[in-house]
């Protein structure tokens, strides 16, 4: 049984594809009110290339008594630890939690909240967004890397993902992948918020991008992730050009008045620098400016 916490963008994308492959799936929704609106909607709708498909997947709330062996955690990084703590009494010994959260930091928080479980980290380039409650658009086909820094043995359920058509690979160095993605995010997303531009707008700020990349490279080396630092600047430039017409996820969050995952992205990078007594002036200034910007827009700065 796949228990999936969070029927947002990624949770719905995973739930519908697993259910479509005939695999057993149950959703865990926040509370009775969310469960009632879900029941009213009659299930999840996945919109793929303009075609909508409906899936009447069973759902329940966190205090349901059913034991959990395998949990897909599909909430935002800032909700992850609290969500898992709530479910901790239901996790059987040897339970597995698959963590879809972007950035770094929430994985350790979850591991502390559920020490009896195996935590498997994911880094995904898939893209989805909620068109309406319980209606999700599959916007960008991509790939998901999964891994467990404490146990390199892949779990048997990777076969379920293959059956469900979820493109994936088992990564022997998932932490490095998460760091690489975090570094790309730090070099691009905050600046798109501060300049209020699409990713392509950053081509007007090459010197600032170069300074940020140099500091991120220094940080990655210092944190023992030299592989994640390789050609970072080239990849940042490539991503800016390849996604020139897009608004970054952080820009979308801010413009729609939603809380960002800053603590687990730029905030995490700045904390790591501080722990290593590294002085990274551009990165730290960017963090300060972003925090001020969020506060000015009435958004949480954590
Ligand atoms: P999302 O659309 O906001 O969905 C998060 C869901 O988690 C919401 O439905 C929310 O419930 C639910 N939730 C939060 N706390 C809960 C709790 N205690 N119990 C039950 N449900 C709970 O977020 P998302 O875009 O799927 O992102 C999830 C993670 O994936 C993020 O870290 C994001 O950065 C990462 N990611 C997303 C994408 C993408 O394309 N969307 C791509 C790559 C990575 P409510 O609906 O009740 O608020």
Q: What is the pLDDT of residues 280-300, one digit of tens each?
A: 999 999 999 999 999 999 999
Please compute the mean of the pLDDT values over residues 71-90 and round it to a whole number.
Answer: 98
pLDDT value, residue 229: 98
Contact 82, 13 (CB under 8 A): no
The pLDDT of residue 184 is 98
**Domains contained in the chain, CATH given:** 2-172 (3.40.50.720), 176-296 (1.10.1040.10)
Please give the average per-residue pLDDT across 52-60, as a whole number: 98
Q: For residue 85, name the pLDDT band (cuts at 50, 70, 90).
A: very high
CA 134 to chain CA mean position, Å: 19
Average pLDDT of the segment spanning 70-81: 98
Q: What pLDDT is stored for residue 271 in this prediction? A: 98
User: For 104, which DSSP code?
Assistant: S
If you measure from the C-alpha of residue 130 to the centroid of ligand 1, how many angstroms do you get, rounded to a whole number?
10
Question: What pLDDT does residue 234 have?
Answer: 98
To the question of pTM greater than 0.75 for the whole model, the response is yes
**Pocket lining: 5 vs ligand 1, CB cutoff 6 Å:** yes
β partners of residue 71: 3, 97
Residue 24 is predicted with a pLDDT of 98
Residue with tokens 């992948």: 177
Cα separations in angstroms, 265 against 113, 145, 187, 249, 298: 21, 18, 10, 12, 20
Cα(32) to ligand 1 centroid in Å equals 18
pLDDT of amino acid 97: 98
> Tens digits of per-residue pLDDT, 203-253?
999 999 999 999 999 999 999 999 999 999 999 999 999 999 999 999 999
Q: Tell me, what's the pLDDT at 300?
A: 93
74 alpha carbon to ligand 1 midpoint, in Å? Answer: 5
Residue 243: is it exposed, middle or buried by C-beta count within 10 angstroms (0-12/13-18/19+)?
middle
User: Do strands 2-5 and 25-28 pair parallel, antiparallel, or not at all (unpaired)?
Assistant: parallel
Closest Cα to atom 32, ligand 1: which residue? 101
Q: In this structure, which residue's CA is closest to atom 47 in ligand 1?
A: 30
Pocket of ligand 1, candidates 4, 6, 44, 135: which has the most ligand atoms within 8 Å of its Cβ, to mutate?
Answer: 6
Place 269 in a pLDDT band, splitting at 50, 70 and 90.
very high
Mean pLDDT of the chain: 97
Q: Which residue, judged by its Cα, is nearest atom 24 of ligand 1?
A: 9
pLDDT at 3: 98
Q: Could you identify the atom of ligand 1 that is nearest to the CA of residue 13?
A: 26
Work out the angle at residue 162's Cα, subtended by the Cα atoms of residues 26 and 170, and round it to the nearest 5 degrees.
100
Q: Model confidence over 131-159: pLDDT tens digits? A: 999 999 999 999 999 999 999 999 999 99
Atom nearest to 133 CA in ligand 1: 46
| CA–centroid distance, residue 6 to ligand 1 (Å) | 6
The pLDDT score that the predictor gives to residue 149 is 97
The answer to whether 26 touches 5, Cβ cutoff 8 Å, is no
Compute, in angstroms, the gap from residue 62 CA to the centroid of ligand 1.
16
Look at residues 116, 100, 96 and name the one whose alpha carbon lies nearest to residue 156: 96
pLDDT of residue 108: 97
Which residue from 25, 68, 3, 15 is spatially nearest to 45, judged by alpha carbons?
15
Instruction: Report whether 299 contacts 257 (CB < 8 A).
Output: yes
User: Which ligand 1 atom sits nearest the alpha carbon of residue 74?
Assistant: 28
Place 42 in a pLDDT band, splitting at 50, 70 and 90. very high
Residue with tokens 């952080």: 250
- Give me the pLDDT at residue 291, please: 98
As a whole number of angstroms, the distance between CA 13 and CA 138 comes to 7
Q: Which of 136, 185, 178 is nearest to 19 (CA)?
A: 136
- Nearest ligand 1 atom, CA 86: 18
Q: Is 181 labeled as catalytic in the residue annotation?
A: yes
In the prediction, which pLDDT does 196 show? 98
pLDDT computed for residue 167 by the predictor: 98
Task: Calculate mean pLDDT across residues 9-18.
Answer: 98
Residue 101: CB within 6 Å of ligand 1? Answer: yes
Catalytic position from the list 90, 180, 181, 287: 181
DSSP H or E run through 181 = helix 174-194
Compute the distance between CA of residue 296 and CA of residue 298 in angstroms, rounded to an integer: 6
- Say what percent of the chain tops pLDDT 90: 99
Q: Name the residue at shortest CA distance from atom 14 of ligand 1.
A: 75
Report which of 277, 197, 278, 291 is spatially closest to residue 244, judged by C-alpha positions.
197
Query: Is 28's C-beta closer than 6 angstroms to any atom of ligand 1?
Result: yes
């Amino acid at each position: 049984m796949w228990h999936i916490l969070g029927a947002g963008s990624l949770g719905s994308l995973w739930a519908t594809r697993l259910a479509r492959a005939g695999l057993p799936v149950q959703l865990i929704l926040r509370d009775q009110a969310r469960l009632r609106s879900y029941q009213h909607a009659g299930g999840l709708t996945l919109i793929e290339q303009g075609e909508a498909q409906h899936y009447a997947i069973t759902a329940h709330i966190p205090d349901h008594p059913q034991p959990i062996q395998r949990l897909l955690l599909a909430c935002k990084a800032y909700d992850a630890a609290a969500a898992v703590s709530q479910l901790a009494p239901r996790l059987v010994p040897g339970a597995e939690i698959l963590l879809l959260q972007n950035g770094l930091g929430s994985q350790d928080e979850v591991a502390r909240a559920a020490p009896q479980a195996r935590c498997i980290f994911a880094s995904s380039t898939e893209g989805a967004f909620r068109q309406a409650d319980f209606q999700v658009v599959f916007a960008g086909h991509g790939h998901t890397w999964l891994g467990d820094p404490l146990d390199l043995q892949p779990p048997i359920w990777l076969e379920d993902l293959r059956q469900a058509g979820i493109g994936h690979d088992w990564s022997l160095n998932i932490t490095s992948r998460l760091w690489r993605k975090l570094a790309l995010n730090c070099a691009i997303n905050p600046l798109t918020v501060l300049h209020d531009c699409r990713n392509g707008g950053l081509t007007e700020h090459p010197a600032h991008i170069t300074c940020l990349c140099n500091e991120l490279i220094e940080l990655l080396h210092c944190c023992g992730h030299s592989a994640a630092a390789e050609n970072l600047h080239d990849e940042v430039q490539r991503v800016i050009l390849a996604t020139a017409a897009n608004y970054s996820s952080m820009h979308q969050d801010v413009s729609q008045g939603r809380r960002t995952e800053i603590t687990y992205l730029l905030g995490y990078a700045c904390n790591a620098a501080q722990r290593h007594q590294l002085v990274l002036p551009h990165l730290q200034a960017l963090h300060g400016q972003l925090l001020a910007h969020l506060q000015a827009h009435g958004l949480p700065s954590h």
